[in-house]
Amino acid sequence: MPITTTRRRLLAGSAAALALPAFARAQGAVKPRLTAISQWSAGSDGAAITALGKKFEEKGGVWQHSPVPGFTTEMMNKLRAQIMAGDPPACSQLKGPEIAAWSKIAPTVDLDAVVAAAGYEKVVAPDLAKLHKPGGKWIALPLQIYSTNMLFLSKRAMDKAKADKVPVTWADFNDLADKMKAGGVPYPVANGGTRPDDGQKFEAALAGISPLAYRAAIMKLEKKALEGPEIKAAFAQVRKIADWMDPNVGAQHFSTNLKRFVDGDMGMMIMGGWAQGVLRNAGFKFEDFIIAPGPSDNSKPVFLLNADAFIFWQRKEPDLQAGQTLMAQLVMDPAIQTMYSQITGSIPVRTDVDLSGEGWSDGQRRTAAALKDAIASNQAVLSLAHNMAQENGMTAAMIDVITEYVKNKTIKPEQAATRLAEAVEGAR
Amino acid sequence: MSNAAAIRPGRPALPEWVRRLPEYLMIWVPLLLSAAHLVSFSLWTIWISFTPSTLIPVSGWVGLRNYSAVAASRNWQIAFDNLLLFGSAFVLLSLVTGLALAILLDQRIRGENVLRSVFLYPLAVSFVVTGTVWSWLLNPGLGIQKLVHDLGWTSFKFDWLIDRDMAIWTIVIAAIWQSSGFAMALFLAGLRSVDTDIIKAAQIDGAGPIRIYRRIILPSLWPITITVVVIQLQFAISTFDLVRALTNGGPGIATQLPALVVYDLMFQRSLLGRGAAAAVLMLLILLAVLLPYAAWRYVQRRRAAHA
C-alpha cells in the first residue's frame, strides 16, 4: 500500500512539525499555561478571577480563562462537552459533591504532594476538606467560602420597630418581625423568589433549629431524621417567614428588592454573604444595614457552608501540568485568598488568615468568627440550596418540595415533611 | 445549461439522470442531511432514555425505569396537566382572536397596512422578551394592578402571576399576544382568497353580511383553521423560553411545562437518561398531534384526486 505509507509519513511529518515548538519548550524551562473555565464573567466575581489571572501571569504563566456566563449548570454543560471530546480544561470551577461525581467520568490530578507542601490541610474546615478529596486524595481546591444563612438587618426597619438587639434565636427573629410589622414595616422579611432563595429559607430554619438534625437529614439523608420533628418545626418556621415576605416578588432575584430593604420597606434578609458585595456594588453604605450570623436556637453560630472550588483535570502537556501546579499554589496562598475575598465579599478558606486589617468589613470578620465558632462546636454544615450537601439531582428534588411549600400556603408543615422524605426516596 | 445542451442539434442528448442531476442534488442532499440529523439524534435520544446515563451518556439497559421515574414525578404530572390546559386554551383563544382581528381588518378600512403590521409585530419579538415584559406587566406590585390602584381603584385585584392556580393563564395571555397576529395573517390571506363572484352572487340573492360570513366565507376557511391549529399546537407543546422568562415554572412548580422538565432533568439535575425519557414522551405527544394531521392531509389529497 504505497499510498497509505506516504499519507502516514506525511501525517507523521506534519505532526512532528507541529509538536516541535512544544517539544522545544519542554526541553527548556516550561512556561506554565492554564486553561480554565468558570461561570465568573462579570461583577465582583469576574473582577476577582481576572485579578487571580494577573497574579498567574506575574509568576510567568500563560492564563487562558474562558468564562461561561449564567448559571453554574451552563458552565457544567461546557465542561461536559469538553470532557466527552477528550479535551478537558486543565482546571475548572466545580463545587460540593459534584466534585466526587464528576471525578468518576474523567481522570483528575492528584494534588496531595502540593497540598502537603503548603501545609494546607490543617487550616481547612474538615467537612470542607472531605468534599475536595473524594477518593482520599486531594483533586480539587476550595477557593473562597460564603455562609448562606447570614442575617441582614435594615437599619431603617430596626428604627421603625424601635429595636436595636440583633436576634439570636428563631424566637428572637419572630419577635423582631412582629415588632417590625407593628412598627409599620410592610414586609418584615426581604426576599427573592428563586429556587435557591426558597431553599435557603428552609436550610437556615432547620440548621438554626438543630444542626444535628440538619446533618442527619439533609447531609446524610437518614430516613429517621427526615421524618423527625425538627423537619416539621423547620417547615413551620418557613411558613412564618413566607407570611412576612412580599408575595408580589414572583420569580425575581433577591437583588431586585435591595433598595426597599435599605429603605426599611422590608426588614430582614436571610441571604448568603455575597449580598454584602451586591449591596456595596449598588451604592449602599455599611451604615444602612447590619450583618449577623443566622438565627440559632442554641445561641451558638450555625454556619451553612458554601465554598467555590477548582477541580484539576489530567492533561499530558508539560506546560499545562506546570500551570496546574502553579495554580494550586496560588489558590492556597493566604495573600491570594485575601485578595480574592476582599473583591467578592466572601471569607478565605484558610482559617488562619487575619481579618483585622483594612480591606475587610465587619460582616466578613463576623462571618469568619462564626465559622471558627461553628467548627469548634461542630455546627458548620453544608448548604443544600447551593449544592454543597447533595448532588444536583437530589438537591433539585428536595428544593421542588420546599419551593412549592413556600409558594403554596395550603400545604401543612407535616405534609411538606412527608413530601420531602418521599422526594428523597424518589431521587435516591 | 443541461437544457441548452439537450436542445442543441447534432449532439446526442445527455442521459436523463445526468440532465436532472442538479435537481437531484439540490433536493436530496439537504433532505438527506437534515433527515440524518433529525433521525440520528432522535434515535440517539431514544437510546439514551433506556440507559442509566446521568452526567454523561453511558451504555447499559434499564428498560422503562427512566420512563416510570419521569411519569411518577410531580414535576412531570404538573407539566402534563399544564400542557393540556395551556395547549387547548392557547390554541382556541389565539384562533378566535386571530379570526376576529382578520375579519375586522377585512372591512376595507383605512390604515389596514399599519394595523396589520402592528398586530403582526409581536411575532418579531423573541419569546424571552415577551416573557420578561409580561412578567413586569403582570406583576401585581409593578404592573397593571399597581397602575389601577394608583388610579384610585384600590380594591382591584389582578395577581395571576403569583397565584399558583391562575399563573398558567398568564402564559396563555402572553402567548396569545405574541402569536394571534400570526393566526390573523393566515386568516386574512384566507379571507382574501374567497371567490368574490360567489360573494357577489350571494349579495344579489339578498344575503346580509353576517349570513355571507357564516355560510360562505367561514366554511371556506377551515383548511386554514386546521393549519393554524396544528402550527400553534406544536408551538404549545415545545414552549420553553416564554415560560422560562415569564414564571420560570413558578410560583413553586405550578407552571411547569414538559420542555422545562426536559431541560431541568438533563442540564440542571444531570440526569441524562431521565431527561431523554421526558424528551421522548414529548415527541410522542407531538406525534399524537402531527400523525392525525398527516392522515387528514392524505385523505384530502385522495379526495381531491378523485374529484
Distance CA B177, CA B183 (A): 11
pTM of the model: 0.80
Chain A contact set for B277 (CB, 8 A): none
Interchain CB contact of B106 with A (< 8 Å): no
Provide the pLDDT for residue B13.
Answer: 77
Rounded CA-CA distance A161/A183 in Å is 5
Among B65, B138, B145, B270, most A C-beta atoms within 10 A, so best to mutate, is: B270
CB burial of residue B79 (10 Å; 0-12, 13-18, 19+): buried
Q: Tens of pLDDT along B248-285? A: 887 888 899 999 999 999 888 888 999 999 999 999 99
A102 at B interface, C-beta within 8 A? yes
List all residues 6 or more positions away from B30 whose beta carbon is below 8 Å from its beta carbon.
none
| Range(s) of the domain holding residue B226 | 73-306
Domain boundaries along the sequence of chain A: 30-145+308-348, 150-305+360-427
- Separation CA B233–CA B286 (nearest Å): 8
**ipTM of model over 0.95:** no
With H, G, I as helix, E, B as strand and everything else as coil, classify residue A285. Answer: coil
Q: Are strands A33-38 and A62-67 parallel, antiparallel or unpaired?
A: parallel
List CB contacts (< 8 A) between A73 and chain B.
267-268
For residue B67, being part of any structural domain is answered with: no
d(CA A236, CA A227): 14
Could you tell me where the beta strands, DSSP code E, fall in A280-425? 289-293, 303-312, 347-348, 380-382
Q: For residues A290 and A288, what is the distance between their CA atoms, to the nearest angstrom? A: 7
CA distance B161 to B140: 8
Set of chain A residues whose Cβ sits within 8 Å of the Cβ of B54: 101, 393
Chain B residue at shortest CA distance from A396: B269
Q: Which three cell numbers stand for residue A254?
A: 433577591
Q: Which of A241, A164, A167 is nearest to A203 (CA)?
A: A241
**DSSP H or E segment with residue B60:** none
* CA angle, B27 then B32 then B35, to 5°: 120
Interhelix angle for B167-192 vs B127-137, to 10°?
130
Q: What are phi and psi of B230, to 5 degrees?
A: -65, -45
Q: Which tens digit of pLDDT belongs to each residue from A109-159?
A: 999 999 999 999 989 988 899 999 998 999 999 999 999 999 999 999 999
Topology agreement, domain A30-145+308-348 and domain A150-305+360-427: yes
- The CATH number given to A150-305+360-427 is 3.40.190.10
- Chain A nearest CA to B92, separation (Å): 28
Residues B251, A391: C-beta atoms closer than 8 Å: no
Q: pLDDT over 90 for what percent of chain A?
A: 72
Residue holding cell 465582583?
Answer: A44
Exposure b/e, A246-281, CB count within 10 A at least 16 = b: bbbbbbbebbebbebbbebbbbbbbbbbbbbbbbee
The gap from C-alpha B97 to its chain's centroid, in whole angstroms, comes to 16
Determine, for residues A251 and B250 on separate chains, whether the beta-carbon distance falls below 8 Å.
yes
Alpha helices in chain B (DSSP H): 2-7, 16-19, 21-48, 65-72, 74-105, 112-120, 127-137, 144-151, 167-192, 196-204, 209-212, 218-220, 222-237, 241-246, 258-263, 272-306
Closest CA to B145 of B126, B168, B170: B170
Whether residues B140 and A248 touch (CB distance < 8 A) is answered with yes
**Residues of chain B contacting residue A397, judged by C-beta atoms under 8 Å apart:** 269
CATH number of the domain where residue B295 is located:
1.10.3720.10
Residue B281 grid cell: 414522551
The answer to whether A250 contacts B54, with C-beta atoms less than 8 Å apart, is: no
A378 and B CB contact within 8 Å: no
Going by the DSSP 8-state scheme, the letter that residue A249 receives in this structure is G
The pLDDT assigned to A1 comes to 36
Do A404 and B73 count as a contact with CB atoms less than 8 A apart?
A: no
**Does A250 sit within 8 Å of B247, measured CB to CB?**
yes
The pLDDT, as a whole number, for residue B112 is: 86
How many domains is chain B built from? 1
Provide the residue type at A35 as one letter.
Answer: T
Q: What is the mean pLDDT of each run of 10 residues along chain B (307 residues)?
A: 51 81 90 91 95 89 92 92 95 94 88 88 90 90 88 88 89 93 92 87 87 86 90 91 88 90 89 94 92 90 85
CA A316, A320, A322, A328 dihedral sign is: negative
Which chain A residue has the Cα nearest residue B73?
A: A426
Q: What is the reported pLDDT for A428? A: 80
> Does residue B49 lie within any of the structural domains?
no
Q: For residues A148 and A125, what is the distance between their CA atoms, to the nearest angstrom?
A: 16
What is the pLDDT at residue B253?
86
Instruction: For residue B12, tell me if it sits in a domain.
Output: no
Q: Please give the pLDDT value at position B206.
A: 86
Residue of A nearest to B159 (CA): A248
Q: What does DSSP assign to residue B123?
A: G
Average pLDDT, chain B: 88
Tell me if chain B has a CB within 8 Å of the CB of A101.
yes
Distance CA A165, CA A179 (A): 12
H helical segments located in A85-147: 98-103, 112-118, 126-131
Q: Which residues of chain A have pLDDT under 50?
A: 1-6, 10-11, 13-27
Half-sphere exposure of B86 (CA within 13 A, CB side): 31
The domain made up of A30-145+308-348 has a fold known as D-Maltodextrin-Binding Protein; domain 2 (3.40.190)
Please check whether residue A416 touches B, CB under 8 A.
Answer: no
